[in-house]
Structure 1
Amino acid sequence: MTSYAKVSGRLPDFKVRYRLLLEGGRQYYQGCRCDWSYKGDDISETGIYMIWPQFLALDGSVFPQDTPVPMTGMATMWIVSPEMRRQIHCSRIQLGVKGYFMEGGRLVAVAIVTEVIGLHSNAYLSC
């Protein structure tokens, strides 16, 4: 899979350590476009956000497209909406923030922000 960084010409917004919460032998694959919610939010009020993961191998490389990803690991995160970046995420994303990967209203992974990367430095999307 070509990294989002190469395709977009910008850095990922942040990195997380995640743990998938899948049942019944279900697998998760590189290229999924699950969304994000913040721990403590009531998604019936806040909704969920288009922040997509790109899963990383142990050496930091991007897993190939459609490859099953480990139940635990690291992922870079990409905020899709520039408006939401400015209005919401620039003030909320910081080290230690907890959140969830979501499929609609279904929680599929827990995550914690381990690094803020390009959130504040992507010039055309800056906070």
Structure 2
Amino acid sequence: MKYRLYPASEGGRKVTFQHLRCDFMYAGDDPQKDGIFMIHPEFLDEHNIPIGEDVIVPLTGRASMWILSPEMRSEVHRARAAVGVRGHFMEGARKVADVEIDAIAALHEDPST
């Protein structure tokens, strides 16, 4: 997934590190009506390797996304997630980044295997 974190001047965080525990919302959804989802990012370097915990996350880049609820994976995200779909990293009701799905890996596999 490609992301653009909002800088502090746009209401984003002053600094972000690996293991940010934000949630995900599909673009166009209403968080009060449609909800937000427990899908957490793992930020990657230019070689698609997870960055270190002590490295400041750049404002733009790529991240792997981890769906934490197996039920939501099968009931919601298999139907909604596709290359080109846009969304947001969320901290509560606050958007902190714009994202776009640019690849999908293992979404349609059984997470228990």
In the superposition, the TM-score normalised over structure 2's length comes to: 0.91
Give per-residue Cα distances to partners, 1:8-64, cap 9 Å, x unaligned: xxxxxxxx1000012157011101111000001011101110000000000111111
- State the match for 1:94 in structure 2: 82
Runs of 4+ off more than 4 Å: none
1:110 and 2:98 matched = yes
Contact 1:95 / 1:114 at 8 angstroms: preserved in 2? yes
What percent of counterpart residues are identical? 42
TM-superposed deviation, 1:124 = 2.6
Q: Which residue of 2 aligns with 1:70?
A: 58
Instruction: Say which is worse superposed, 107-116 or 57-66, in terms of deviation.
Output: 57-66
Give the length in aligned residue pairs. Answer: 110
Rounded to whole Å, the distance in 2 between the matches of 1:22 and 1:105 is 17
How far the C-alpha of 1:123 sits from its partner, in A, is: 4.8
More helix by share: 1
Where 1:19 maps in the other structure, the secondary structure is strand
Unpaired stretches in structure 2, ≥5 consecutive residues = none
Structure 1, unpaired ranges of 5+: 1-15
* Whole-Å separation in 2 of the counterparts to 1:22 and 1:123: 34
- TM-score, normalising length from structure 1? 0.82
